[in-house]
């Protein structure tokens, strides 16, 4: 995965504390564009163009951070995903 790449969310399950702290979260089945990719103490994580959140206090007390999402919650976009998305939009606006 790389910055600018489109991905699709495959896991939008969050624990109650995460839901409480992170108001904007990706939704399973929706497409997103990678804004930033980096390594955290939990592994690789993403920020998405379509999802932004207020900065939270870092648990270490050393500043603030924008919540990120594990790369494991996403997979690369394939052509079939784009076709399904177009069909869904056509149904919405029909």
Establish if 69 belongs to a structural domain. yes
Name the residue range of residue 25's domain: 6-93
Establish if 86 belongs to a structural domain. yes
Establish if 70 belongs to a structural domain. yes
pTM: 0.76
Establish if 1 belongs to a structural domain. no
Tell me how many domains the chain contains.
1
Establish if 35 belongs to a structural domain. yes
Read off φ and ψ for residue 83, nearest 5 degrees. Answer: -65, -45
Establish if 16 belongs to a structural domain. yes
pLDDT in tens, 11-65: 999 999 999 999 999 999 999 999 999 998 889 999 999 999 999 988 788 889 9
pLDDT value at 89 more than 60: no
How deeply is 61 buried, as exposed, middle or buried, from its count of CB atoms within 10 A (0-12, 13-18, 19+)? exposed
The per-residue pLDDT for 93 is: 56
The per-residue pLDDT for 26 is: 96
């Amino acid at each position: 995965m790389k910055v600018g790449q489109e991905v699709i969310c495959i896991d939008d399950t969050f624990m109650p504390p995460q839901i409480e702290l992170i108001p904007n979260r990706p939704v399973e089945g929706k497409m997103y564009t990678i804004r930033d990719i980096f390594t955290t103490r939990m592994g690789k994580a993403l920020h998405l163009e379509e999802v932004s959140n207020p900065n939270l206090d870092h648990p270490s007390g050393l500043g603030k951070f924008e919540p990120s999402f594990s790369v494991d919650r996403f997979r690369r976009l394939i052509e079939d995903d784009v076709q399904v998305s177009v069909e869904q939009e056509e149904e919405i606006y029909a």
